[in-house]
Amino acid sequence: MEILAFGVQADEQPLIEQAFAGHHEVRCLDVFLNEDTAPIATGYEVISTSVNADLNHRVLHTLAAGGTRMVTQRSTGFNNIDLPVAERLGMTVARVSYYSPYSVAEFAWTLAMAVNRRIVRAAIRTRDFDFRLHGLMGRDMHGRTAGVLGTGKIGEAFARIAHGYGMQLLGWDVRENPACLELGMKYVPKDQLLAESDLVSLHVPLMPATLHLIDADALKTMKDDAILVNSSRGGLIDAAALVTELLAGRFSGVGLDVYELEAGLFFLDKSLEVIEDDVLARLITFPNVLVTSHQAYYTEDAVTEIVNATARNVVDYKAGRRSENVLVPRT
């Protein structure tokens, strides 16, 4: 059987081909799955999608009409998939429930330190042989407070790094992580965490209850010189409200690896086009904001785990087995 994989990055393709070798053939496409590209999947029983795929009800109906019976997404998040519709159509849906938490946690810290120590600005200056230090002053993280919203595997890994810096730890989650408690983390209400933290990092999934978790009121609760990092899902932050606060001169730095309306932009070359998203365009212009294109997960270790799990999902599907990765079981 041949698998059709959408949204495959050039670095990712050999890893996908290796993962499926000996099991199934795989055809890799660099285009993302959406309403325009869904007809390409006609005749493919199994497809694999990326995190920026759009699997709304129309896309799922097109896939089902074309013979697709299984979708396996190469990510942990699945907020882009209309699961009730997939279930009604009798489609099996799977994801990757686990991969290296260090890839995302380490990148979140990379963003935090890059905006704290003005690394991008410094690098641009030195390329022009401008070696002045004016405007590049950062702060020690040691002794300051890190607030971790979401203390699962990635949040825990982030907290361990913060502990290594010698920071005080505040946490917020629906349940306490014993490993974080051992690090000295104190669990507090969200507003208290935001008010007392010098660095706030988001590590919660996107769902109706967490949409705009960091809204206008939450942003106003934060310290004026705080650092805010989001390497989870763009919809956790009300980006328009964030722009308003940045225009008021607030926040020492903001590092964003995700953006609420990133689909159709991230992973693509838009350098010769006019960006119609005024909020994103404005965010990128702030000197204290660093935006990257959803690359926190993008290490050889993590991507290898992701594609291997994706291949196992297909093998399990064909064998009639159900794993922890299955969101909608085979009927």
CATH of the domain at 67: 3.40.50.720
- Structural domains of the chain, count: 2
Do 107 and 120 belong to one domain? yes
- Say how many C-beta atoms besides its own lie within 10 A of residue 134's C-beta: 7
Asked if residue 309 and residue 281 are part of one domain, the reply reads: no
Amino acid at residue number 96: V
Residues 10 and 146 in one domain: no
Tell me the pLDDT tens digit for each residue of 265-318.
Answer: 998 899 999 999 999 999 999 999 999 999 999 999 999 999 999 999 999 999
Same domain, yes or no: 273 and 304: no
Residue 154 and residue 275 in one domain: yes
Strand partners, 49: 73
- Read off the pLDDT of each residue in 214-223 and give the average, rounded to a whole number: 98
Residues 194 and 323 placed together within one structural domain of the fold: no
- Say what the pLDDT of residue 51 is: 87
Structural domain boundaries, residue 16:
2-99+299-328
- Answer yes or no: do 51 and 134 share one domain: no
Domain match, 95 and 140 both: no
Mean pLDDT of the chain: 96
The predicted pLDDT at position 312 comes to 95
- Which strands, in side-by-side order, build the sheet including 2-5? 25-28, 2-5, 46-49, 70-73, 92-94, 326-328
Provide the annotated active-site residues: 233, 262, 294
Residue 331 pLDDT more than 80? Answer: no
Segment 19-27 shows an average pLDDT of 92
How confident is the model over 219-243, as pLDDT tens digits? Answer: 999 999 999 999 999 999 999 999 9
Q: Distance between CA 251 and CA 313 in Å, rounded?
A: 43
Q: Which of 107-116, 211-220, 244-253, 267-276 has the lowest mean pLDDT?
A: 267-276
pLDDT tens string 110-167:
999 999 999 999 999 999 999 999 999 999 999 999 999 999 999 999 999 999 999 9
12 plus 112 within the same structural domain: no
| Mean pLDDT computed over 75-80 | 89
Q: Are residues 157 and 189 in the same domain?
A: yes
For residue 127, count CB atoms less than 10 angstroms from its CB and return exposed for 0-12, middle for 13-18, buried for 19 or more. exposed
Indicate whether 202 and 282 sit together in one domain: yes
pLDDT above 90 for 264: no
Percentage of the chain exceeding pLDDT 90? 94
DSSP type of residue 234: G
pTM above 0.85, yes or no: yes
Q: Is the pLDDT assigned to residue 4 strictly greater than 90?
A: yes
- Extract the runs of DSSP E, i.e. beta strands, from the chain: 2-5, 25-28, 46-49, 70-73, 92-94, 145-149, 168-172, 186-187, 199-202, 227-230, 253-256, 289-291, 326-328
| pLDDT > 80? residue 1 | yes
Q: Are residue 304 and residue 156 in the same domain, yes or no?
A: no
